[in-house]
């Protein structure tokens, strides 16, 4: 089965899963983009506009994401964007641990189908999905391997909209992405991927 068909099947499965939290409370925002991409961006959960349009990152944070992509000459159509939790939590509250847990197996399969080279996490929830002990303020902008994938932790664009200093960091981290893709770092001896002090010492960029 090709990637688009596999993604369509997966989407149907999520739609039909009545046990998922937020089922019936909000629209499904499955994700979109080029399924053959080298780079997969993963955010947190849809907001109001995403819920309305059933597309990820189309509100203010999405507009900033578009600008950041433009600055590195990556059209949005070249990449794929999704979220951990695929329905909007009420009043834009943070996703609950049980919501993240429930949507996790679907995200895992979505990642496996797309099979990107680089996974760019947007914000702490997405980073902690992979590395529960990581800290966004400490670990952003430092690429590391996660299995076969290169994981690049980035601040969430919404956080950058709230603080100029975060925006500067996000812009500078974003600029590292093309280089990571062009010259993928050697795996070196990166051990298992709980982020501890030693892992940070293995930083690649």
Which residues contact ligand URA (rule: CB under 6 A)? 43-47, 50, 56-57, 59, 61-62, 83, 158
CB of 189 to ligand URA, least distance (A): 33
In the complex, the smallest distance separating the C-beta of residue 125 from ligand URA, rounded to whole angstroms, is: 8
Residue 63 vs 135, nearer CB to ligand URA:
63
φ and ψ at 119, to 5 degrees?
-115, 115
Burial environment of residue 195 by CB neighbours within 10 A (0 to 12, 13 to 18, 19 or more)? buried
**Is the Cβ of residue 55 or residue 118 nearer to ligand URA in the bound state?**
55
**Angle at the Cα of 136 from the Cα atoms of 131 and 139, rounded to 5 degrees:** 75
- Compute the distance between CA of residue 83 and CA of residue 110 in angstroms, rounded to an integer: 10
Nearer to ligand URA, 83 or 144 (CB): 83
- Cα of first residue to Cα of last residue in the chain, in angstroms, is 36
* CB 90, min distance to ligand URA, A: 15
Shortest distance, CB of residue 31 to ligand URA, whole angstroms? 9
Return the number of the residue (51 or 139) whose C-beta is nearest ligand URA. Answer: 51
Residue nearest to ligand URA (CB): 43
What backbone torsions phi and psi does residue 61 show, to the nearest 5 degrees? -60, -35
């Amino acid at each position: 089965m090709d990637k688009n068909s596999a993604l369509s099947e997966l989407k149907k499965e999520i739609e039909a899963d009545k046990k998922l939290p937020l089922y019936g409370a909000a629209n499904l925002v499955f994700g979109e983009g080029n399924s053959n991409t080298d780079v997969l961006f993963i955010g947190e959960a849809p907001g109001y506009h995403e819920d309305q349009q059933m597309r990820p990152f189309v509100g203010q944070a999405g507009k900033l994401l578009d600008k950041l992509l433009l600055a590195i000459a990556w059209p949005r159509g070249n990449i794929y964007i999704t979220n951990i939790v695929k329905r909007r939590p009420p009043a834009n509250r943070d996703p609950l641990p049980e919501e993240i847990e429930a949507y996790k197996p679907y995200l895992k399969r979505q990642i496996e189908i797309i099979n990107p080279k680089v996974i760019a996490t947007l914000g702490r929830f997405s980073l902690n999905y992979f590395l529960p002990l990581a800290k966004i303020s400490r670990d952003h902008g430092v690429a590391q391997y996660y299995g076969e994938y290169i994981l690049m932790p980035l601040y969430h664009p919404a956080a950058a909209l709230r603080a100029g200093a975060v925006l500067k960091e996000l812009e500078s981290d974003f600029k590292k992405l093309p280089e990571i893709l062009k010259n993928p770092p050697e795996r070196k001896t990166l051990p298992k991927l709980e982020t501890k002090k030693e892992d940070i010492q293995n930083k690649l960029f």
